Amino acid sequence: MSYRTHLTAVAARVRLASASVLPFVVFALLWSALLGSPSLAHCAEVQLEWDPVSDPRVDIYEVKWGASSGQYEHTADATSNSAQVSGLQEGETYYVAVRACVQDRTLCSSLSEEVSTTIALLAAPCCLPAIVVAVPPPIASFEASTTSRLAPLTVVFTDTSTGQIDGWRWDFGDGTRSIGSTAVHTYSTAGTYTVSLTVNGAGGSATITKADLVTAP
């Protein structure tokens, strides 16, 4: 059994010879693009439409496209006689073909006649791959205004860390804590205290601990 199908394309009627197993699929390219800023890299989407194949065995259509004629790097499935292909780069030419298949793809038609389209400039800015810039972790550091004096001893702690930092957490070694890039703490009880600072930023966190830093005899 053989089949012939045709479709009114964008500018002309297209007619293909029949396939020997399943009928060819003939389709029209109707590319559409949203206007965007010309200063950005852009992308477009292409709307494909074709006459449905009147063979009860057909369950799915395979839409194939690529940047070289006859070489299709991409495939998408369609359950009706239309499909939308997105993420196409402006200024590039794409080649598209479609074939009809049964559900398990053990039987498919030959590919349709190939259709090409060139994506015009000024399409919608939507398909640039994300560029991720790694932020290095901060390096924790701090200074103390004084470290030894009779209690009560008041110490001003100043952050000297480097890197991108948006959070500070101080531990004064006597059970009390504070936040902020600068901290003022009074040691009321005699003793020796270990002080630590943890800083947080987009690149992660870092902690510095100074053992027995403060002595209040």
Domain limits, the chain: 6-118, 142-216
CB of 28 within 8 A of CB of 49?
yes
Record: fold of 142-216 = Immunoglobulin-like (2.60.40)
Q: Cα separation of 121 and 33, whole Å?
A: 9
**Are β-strands 142-144 and 60-66 bridged in parallel, bridged antiparallel, or unpaired?**
unpaired
Nearest to 60 by CA among 107, 102, 104: 102
Give 171-208 pLDDT, tens digit per residue: 999 999 999 999 999 999 999 999 999 999 888 899 99
* Residue at 24: amino acid letter: F
Does this model's pTM top 0.75? no
Token pair of 167, please? 């959070």
Question: What was the pLDDT predicted at 122?
Answer: 54
pLDDT of residue 13 exceeding 70, the answer is no
Mean pLDDT of 149-153: 94
Domain 142-216 in the same topology as domain 6-118: yes
Work out the mean pLDDT of the chain and round it to a whole number.
75
* pLDDT score recorded for residue 6: 29
In tens, the pLDDT along 108-131 reads 888 888 888 887 765 444 544 444
* pLDDT for the residue numbered 91: 79
- CATH node for 6-118: 2.60.40.10
CA distance 23 to 113: 12
Average the pLDDT over 10-16 and give the result: 25
